Amino acid sequence: MTAHASQPHRTYRYYDLIVVAFVTVLLCANLIGAAKVVQLDVPVLGTLVFGAGVLFFPISYFFGDILTEVYGYAHDRRAVWCGFGTLLFAALMAWVVTRMPAAPGDYNSSLQSGMEVVFDNTWRIVAGSIIAFWAGSLVNSYVLSKLKIYTGGKYLWVRTIGSTAAGELVDSGLFYMLAFYGIWDTAQVIQVAVTQYFLKTGWEVLATPITYKLVGYLKRKENEDYFDTHTNFTPFSLKV
């Protein structure tokens, strides 16, 4: 059931579907929730300040863990580059559309103002989001792959939680420093980044039972359980 890099290239039944789900979640989370900061009073925990995207963005790491665990680092790396390209195109499209002159009329003027508020993010937010996603996702995949070899394929929960903790540390740290340092108070940047990190990692812990079921199902259906023993871990490749 275990595959290695020396074997011929395979095709899979569900890989493309998971990549589509991964990119969809990533695009929606970055377009809708990246720049909005939420403050909630939570019993026991007190007041939490965090980016709204934290509620959905961790799902992309969930899919990243599944892709790496079942299909290997190279297949997840390709998915990450698909997400990277999608975010770049979305940023370009948002920039072009919001800067095109609106047709006359109160409705069109109101719509233009709304679109500028929602989609006309600063270059720092866009760059921070894309760079942080790319770096964090590849760190997540790399750590999971190495832990899988180290543990001999045992203790899936250690791999998923450990890799997410590493990847989200890079992601949250990079995004808020690149996007908001010097704009927000430094204390708020740190507070939101730290809260975001623990919420995202906690999400992975809660999702562990689902991860076990889906990973087990895919390994059986795809007849695959990839170990990256001979993988080239360069991030700058689309090869699988």
C-alpha atoms less than 13 angstroms from C-alpha of 38 in its C-beta half-sphere: 15
- Confidence band for 34, pLDDT divided at 50, 70 and 90: low
**Assigned domain for 7 exists:** no
End-to-end CA distance of the chain: 18
- Confidence band for 5, pLDDT divided at 50, 70 and 90: very low
User: How many Cβ atoms sit within 10 Å of the Cβ of residue 20?
Assistant: 13
Per residue, the 3-state secondary structure of the chain, as one string, reads CCCCCCCCCCCCCCHHHHHHHHHHHHHHHHHHHCCCEEEEEECCCEEEEEEHHHHCCHHHHHHHHHHHHHHCHHHHHHHHHHHHHHHHHHHHHHHHHHHCCCCCCHHHHHHHHHHHHHHCCCHHHHHHHHHHHHHHHHHHHHHHHHHHHHHCCCCHHHHHHHHHHHHHHHHHHHHHHHHHECCECHHHHHHHHHHHHHHHHHHHHHCHHHHHHHHHHHHHHHCCCCCCCCCCCCCCCCCC
* pLDDT recorded at residue 85: 95
**Assigned domain for 101 exists:** yes
Q: Taking the model in full, what pTM does it have?
A: 0.89
**Assigned domain for 198 exists:** yes
Task: Provide the domain count of the chain.
Answer: 1
**CA distance to 29, 55, 128, 223, per residue, from 38 (Å):** 14, 11, 19, 43
**Assigned domain for 232 exists:** no
**Assigned domain for 19 exists:** yes
| The pLDDT of residue 56 is above 90 | no
Contact between 31 and 130 under an 8 Å Cβ cutoff? The reply is: no
**Assigned domain for 6 exists:** no
| The pLDDT of residue 186 is above 70 | yes
**Assigned domain for 197 exists:** yes
Q: Are β-strands 37-42 and 46-51 bridged in parallel, bridged antiparallel, or unpaired?
A: antiparallel
Extract the tokens encoding 79.
């998915």
* pLDDT recorded at residue 117: 79
d(CA 125, CA 178): 7
d(CA 64, CA 73): 9
d(CA 37, CA 230): 43
User: In angstroms, how far is CA 181 from the centroid of its own chain?
Assistant: 21
**Assigned domain for 211 exists:** yes
Q: Which domain holds residue 78?
A: 15-222
Q: Which is more confidently placed, 172 or 5?
A: 172
* pLDDT recorded at residue 170: 96
Question: What CATH number should be reported for the domain holding residue 180?
Answer: 1.10.1760
